[in-house]
Amino acid sequence: MLKRFLLSVVACSVMLGAGAAYAQRDIIEILRSDLRTQKKAILTQALALSEAESDAFWPIYNEYEAEIIKVNDARVAIIKEYGANYNTMTDVVAKDLVKRSFKWQEDRTKLMKKYHGKFEKALTPVVAARWVQAEHAIDTMIDVQVASELPLIK
């Protein structure tokens, strides 16, 4: 289910040159919303929180989600620009895309560290570590799927 969804995200992202910008934005936002819903279902199952833990966890996670959406907007922009420049890639554009990709990765890690601390304080170090592990596993699956669908620069 997650793999099929991820394939759709990448396909839409790569084909962004083929339609109205407004419609593309709508499609991407629908796909991203679906991914967030699937992620929550996976986290619910993986974390197996008690009712009290769940009451503490989800408000913090919702804050994290609001912030990670902004961070991931940068990734979507990078993929869009990559697709738009794929056939005419220049050294300048390639260098900028790599620089922005590193920045996105750093921002994602920084945010995860921030929220690990919040989960650790509100819950326990074990629950916080379990969240990091589950979140990282989901992010890794997404990263692998995106990387496998994007062609290497010519």
pLDDT score for 39: 87
Owning domain of residue 139: 2-149
Q: Span 125-129, mean pLDDT?
A: 97
Count of domains in the chain? 1
DSSP 122: H
- Model confidence at 154, pLDDT cuts 50, 70, 90, reads confident
Number of H helices, E strands in the chain: 5, 0
Tell me which of 17 and 95 has the higher pLDDT. 95
Domain assignment present for residue 23? The answer is: yes
Lowest mean pLDDT among 26-30, 60-64, 124-128, 131-135: 26-30
Distances from the Cα of 15 to the Cα of 27, 36, 81, 130, 136, angstroms: 11, 22, 11, 36, 27
Tell me which of 118 and 7 has the higher pLDDT. 118
pLDDT score for 29: 58
Domain assignment present for residue 9? The answer is: yes
- Model confidence at 28, pLDDT cuts 50, 70, 90, reads low
Domain assignment present for residue 154? The answer is: no
Burial 11-45 (b: 16+ CB within 10 A, else e): ebbbebeeeeeeebeebbeebeeebeeebeebbee
CB–CB of 109/71 below 8 Å? no
Tens-place pLDDT, residues 69-82: 999 999 989 998 99
